[in-house]
Structure formats: structure tokens, C-alpha cells
Amino acid sequence: MKVSAIITLKKDVLDPQGKVIHQTLDGMGFKDVNEVRQGKYFEIDVKENDPKKAKEIVENMCSKLLANLVIENYKIIETQ
């Protein structure tokens, strides 16, 4: 079963890459942007077929490796 996780920077953490992307978008004429924050997206195919259990496995991966909880939050966004 495929489980997707999204990792985002916490609110107070400076995101210089997001800032530069924002500036570039602005330079390209996209003037309607308040802020850009860059994150990470993972698509993990686990051997477990029970959606609840599969989600738990990926949550465990997020907290132990995929995200650093000092600066990042994670969210399981879909299972299929």
C-alpha cells in the first residue's frame, strides 16, 4: 500500500530557499504571493495492506528519520 507523507518547516524556522523562490516568482510577475515555504514529499510503498497500520508504520518513520522534529512537522496526506 502506498502512503504519502509531507514534511514542512515549522512556522518559526527561517526558510531561505522559500524566500528566494518567492523573490524569483515576484520577478517573474507573480505578484500575488505572501510567502513561500519549501518542504519535502515522500511516497512510500509499504508491505502492509491495512491502511491504519500502514499509516502508523510511516508515522514512525517520519518521527525517527524522515523529519527532524526540532524544525519540521510531518503529515500523512494519503493512503492508497
Q: Which residues bind another protein (CB under 8 A)?
A: 12-14, 16-17, 20, 65-66, 68, 70-71
The distance of closest approach from Cβ of residue 43 to another protein in the complex, given in angstroms and rounded to an integer, is: 15
Grid coordinates representing 36?
513561500
The distance of closest approach from Cβ of residue 71 to another protein in the complex, given in angstroms and rounded to an integer, is: 5
What is the C-alpha separation between 77 and 80, in angstroms, rounded? 10
Of 28 and 70, nearer to another protein (C-beta) is: 70
The distance of closest approach from Cβ of residue 42 to another protein in the complex, given in angstroms and rounded to an integer, is: 10
User: In 10-80, where does DSSP find H-type helix?
Assistant: 16-27, 51-61
The CA distances from residue 21 to 15, 17, 42, 59, 78, in Å, are 10, 6, 21, 29, 27
Of 63 and 80, nearer to another protein (C-beta) is: 63
